[in-house]
Amino acid sequence: MPLDKKSTKKNTEAGFTLLEILLVVAAIAILAGIVILALNPSKQLGDTRNAQRRSDIRTILDAVYQYSIDNNGTLPTIPISTCALDTEDEVCKATATGTCSAGVDLSVLTTGEKYLTSMPIDPSVSSSDGTGYYIVRTANSRVTVCAPSAEQGATIKITR
């Protein structure tokens, strides 16, 4: 039985209808929305900044103790206090050549880049002089460094 050439041509040129294309686009949009909500980018960014804060305060504390080891147990000048977020307990940004108008001057750690090349700065700090990190010590010379700007209710501090 011979095939009708007209009907064969019609079947090979058939494409997607507008409705089918719209349904596929809508399905992709819904799936993309679900993935974006599941990933929660603001939480992921907050977690990333908190990880940076943990790394920074560990770096500061390690530098303080390395300085102490090199100087026969003498700590840099750190106020005796609690991590109560007083302005005078904030580590200032000053380097060995700069000045520290307020806060704890740890420029001895950055002098000659022996312990730190530069003082770490909190990812969300906008202060012109402070780093956003606070450092205090107890009467028994236990040093605490804390990051009060931690996000998502995290408490970030290390004591040694």
C-alpha gyration radius of the chain: 29
Mean pLDDT estimate for the chain: 86
Whether the pTM exceeds 0.85: the reply is no
With pLDDT > 70 as the criterion, what percentage of the chain qualifies? 87
- Cα-flanking dihedrals φ and ψ of residue 5, to 5°? -65, -30
pLDDT digits (tens, 9 = 90+) for 5-51: 555 555 556 788 999 999 999 999 999 988 887 888 889 899 999 99
pLDDT of amino acid 98: 60
What average pLDDT does this structure show over 135-140?
Answer: 92
Among candidate residues 84, 88, 62, the one with its CA nearest the CA of residue 148? 84
Pick the most confident of 55-64, 126-135, 138-147.
Answer: 55-64
Res 88 pLDDT > 90: no
